[in-house]
Amino acid sequence: MPGNKQIVVHSSKQYPITSLSKDDLIKWFTIKYAKSSKAKKIMEAIDKMTDRDMRKLASLMEDDYIEHMFWSSMEYFFNEMFYR
């Protein structure tokens, strides 16, 4: 039919959002517990974390983010940037 154009969206390319490192944990907990007796124990726990521990923490955070924030954040920022 004339005038009916089908919009084709290519959607397979992915873009990273964030990552997690021990430095992130150190920065956060240094600020949060700067004046707390917990600070030393927290830093020791971070120091003992293995790559496997970090992957597990990152996976849990990813699941939580997708379940609670990802879709609403994506919609909000898309609308702010491109659909006003």
Q: What is the pTM of this model?
A: 0.75
List the domain boundaries for the chain: 22-82
pLDDT at residue 9 greater than cutoff 80: no
- pLDDT-derived band at 6 (thresholds 50, 70, 90) equals confident
The predicted pLDDT at position 14 comes to: 86
Residue 2 has a pLDDT of 61
Q: Confirm if 58 and 24 have CB atoms less than 8 A apart.
A: no
User: How many alpha carbons fall within 13 Å on the CB side of residue 13?
Assistant: 3
SS3 call for 8: coil
Query: What CA–CA distances, in Å, run from 60 to 8, 22, 53, 57, 80?
Result: 34, 15, 11, 5, 28
pLDDT digits (tens, 9 = 90+) for 24-83: 999 999 999 988 999 999 999 999 999 999 999 999 999 999 999 999 999 999 999 998
